[in-house]
A = this chain, B = another copy of it.
Amino acid sequence: MSDLLERLRGRGWRLTAQRRVVAEVLDGDHVHYTADEVHAKAADLLPEISRATVYNTLGELVSLGEVLEVCTDGRAKRYDPNAHHAHQHLVCSRCGTIRDVHPAGDLVANLPAEERFGFQVSAVDVTFRGICPDCAAA
């Protein structure tokens, strides 16, 4: 993630403390924070950061293809920094925990031509749902 900032600077991004902090919060695997969670964690590092800036920065990272938006439950969107490795999501129906997963095969190919209604199909989002080990034990 540290070279993310360099990459973005190469694309004309002005490098501010706020953007640095947001990028830092999003670093890691299986990270899927909501915008407000990102804001809370960013504010631990940079107390004056505003909600608007977090939303702006997340939106820019999404436009630039560095971060994915995921929406697994109809509530707040979550931001997934793992955009450069194609993956899908596995969600616990009870506690909402999200894991990145890698299904086998070509998922788009699962949709037969006669089920495409003339669409040019270019992507597929998959959400596997189940109960995580912690919730199953409880």
Contact = CB atoms under 8 A, between A and B. Distances in A.
Interface in A86-138: 90, 92-93, 99, 101-105, 107-108, 110-112, 115-133, 136
A102 B115 contact: yes
A29 interface: no
Contact of A107 (B77, B126, B132): B126
A90 B103 contact: no
B125 A129 contact: yes
A11 to B, nearest CB: 23
A90 B108 CA distance: 11
A69 B74 CA distance: 9
Q: Which of A71, A93, A124, A128 has the most CB of B within 10 A?
A: A128
7 contacts: A90-B117, A99-B117, A118-B132, A119-B133, A120-B130, A122-B130, A125-B126
B117 A123 contact: no
A15 to B, nearest CB: 28
A126 B126 CA distance: 5
A73 interface: yes
Given A93-B122, A103-B112, A124-B127, 5 more contacts: A71-B74, A90-B119, A117-B132, A120-B130, A122-B130
Interface in A62-80: 69, 71, 73-74, 77
